[in-house]
Structure 1
Amino acid sequence: MVKFDSEKFDVVKFGAKGSNDVRVIVDKETGVQYLLATTYGIGAGMTVLVDEDGKPKLRK
C-alpha cells in the first residue's frame, strides 16, 4: 500500500460515489496537479492534469 505524504502533497478536491473516488492532488513544491481515480477492489489510476497547451496544470 502506498503511503500518502501530506508534507509533499495537498488534496484540493475530492469526490466519491459508491465505490468510486476521485481526487485532485497538488505537489506543494512544484504546484503540479494530478488526478487520482480509484475504484475500490478493482484498481486506480493517476495522471498529471494538463492545460490547453499540453503543459502541466499548476495551482494558482
Structure 2
Amino acid sequence: MAKNERFVKTYSQGKLVETEIWVDKETGVNYLYRKDGYSGGLCVLTDKDGKPVVSTAEEIANLK
C-alpha cells in the first residue's frame, strides 16, 4: 500500500461474504463496505442515532 493512501481498512471479516470498515484519514468518517460474490456496496457507517461515525484525530494518527 502506498504511503499517502487516503483510506485505511481498519476491520475485515469473512471470506466469501466480506464486511470491511474503511476510514477516510482526511475527514475521519468511517465507511462500511460489504461484498458478496460479484456485487458490493459502500455506505457511511452510522451510530444508533443515525449520525456518521467519525474517528478522532488521535485514532487517525494511530492507523497504519
TM-score, normalising length: structure 2: 0.72
Identity %: 38
Aligned to 1:25: 22
List alignment gaps of at least 5 residues for structure 1.
1-5
C-alpha deviation, 1:21, in angstroms: 0.7
C-alpha deviation, 1:55, in angstroms: 1.8
Are residue 40 (structure 1) and residue 55 (structure 2) matched?
Answer: no
List alignment gaps of at least 5 residues for structure 2.
57-64
In 1, Cα distance between equivalents of 2:48 and 2:14: 26
The amino acid that maps onto 1:56 is P
Q: Which has the higher strand share?
A: 1
Are residue 16 (structure 1) and residue 33 (structure 2) matched?
Answer: no
TM-score, normalising length: structure 1: 0.76
C-alpha deviation, 1:16, in angstroms: 1.0
Q: Name the SS of the counterpart of 1:56 in structure 2.
A: coil
* Aligned CA-pair RMSD: 1.5
Q: Which has the higher helix share?
A: 2
